[in-house]
Structure 1
Amino acid sequence: MKRIALFPGSFDPFTKGHEDIVLRGLKLFDEIIIGIGHNANKQRYFPLEVMKTLIEKTFLAYPAVRVETYDGLTAIVARDRGARFLLRGLRNTTDFEYENGISQVNRSIYPDVETVFLITSPHLAPISSSIIRDLHRYHKNVDEFLPYRLSE
């Protein structure tokens, strides 16, 4: 059976930390679906389709990675895509507390799903999408934190 993982998130924006989780995840899974979720309660900073295109370009050399957008419950999306794993990155204990609760709810919705947590590589741990958005909002170059260029 093919080991398919869904890596869900808003990815607003997708960072080098996210890229690191995907690349390391490829050692564990046959296929990774990067799922850009639509959250009706959040206003995106970077347009969804722009981010999808940038992420797709980032992984052009990796046929085992695909990018999709979705609306709805992550566990149901995983089930519908045949993904038995949810891939998540953890930077710190705050991330763990948040992700632990979500993983338990996802498992109650889709009992066959397992959440796999990868600890963020130490040099990437300080990077967060919210910090990058703030820097970008104030016209600071953020390309060093991203696996693609926004300044082009």
Structure 2
Amino acid sequence: MKRIAVCPGSFDPITYGHLDIIERASKVFDEIYISVLRNSSKEGLFTPDERVDMIEEVTKHLGNVKVRQFNGLLIEFCHQVGAGAIVRGLRAVSDFEYEMQLTSMNRKLDSDIETIYMMTNNNYSFISSSIVKEVAKYGGKIEDVVPPHVANLLEEKFNAR
């Protein structure tokens, strides 16, 4: 039986912190589905389609990673792809309370789907997509926190505005 996991997020944009978790999870599971959240109540810098393309580009070296959009309950997405686990990254203690609430609700919805937490590499523990966008908006150096492809896309977005 294949070990399938889902790694959810908005990934607006994907960072080296995200990639750290995805790459490590790809060594533990047979298949990883990166599920890009389509949040209608929040407008992202990148469209969901742009985020999918971006993630596919920076994960193409990982043969067992697939990227999909989803809208709705994460547990339903897990059912659709046959996942038995959700992989989440933790940067700091401040992430824990929110993550505990999500895990508790997901467990209530389906107790057979486990949530696995991975601590982000210390080199990336301070990175968030929001901070990356803010720095990129003002022309700051982001090459150490996002892949070159993502840095180029951020530059294009902010230069077009």
TM-score, with length taken from structure 1: 0.94
Q: In 2, Cα distance between the equivalents of 1:148 and 1:64?
A: 22
Supply the AA of the counterpart residue of 2:152.
Answer: S
Tell me the distance in 2 between the aligned counterparts of 1:141 and 1:43: 24
In structure 2, do the counterparts of structure 1 residues 51 and 148 end up closer, same or farther at CA, with 3 Å as the change threshold? farther
Give the structure 2 partner of residue 133 of structure 1: 133
Taking the aligned partners of 2:97 and 2:65, their CA distance within structure 1 comes to 28
Runs of 5+ consecutive residues of structure 2 not aligned to the other structure: 154-161
Q: Aligned pair count?
A: 152
CA RMSD in angstroms, aligned pairs only: 1.3
Residue 105 of structure 1 deviates from its aligned partner by: 0.4
User: What is aligned with 2:156?
Assistant: none
Aligned to 1:11: 11
Identity percentage of aligned residues? 37
Q: Which moved more, 1:83-92 or 1:138-147?
A: 138-147
**TM-score, structure 2 normalization:** 0.89
Name segments (4+ residues, structure 1) moved above 3 Å. none
Give, in angstroms, the shift of residue 36 of structure 1: 0.2
Unaligned 5+ segments in structure 1 are none
Is 1:71 the counterpart of 2:74 in the alignment?
Answer: no
The structure in which a higher percent of residues are helix is: 2
Match of 1:23 in 2: 23
Shift of 1:139: 2.9
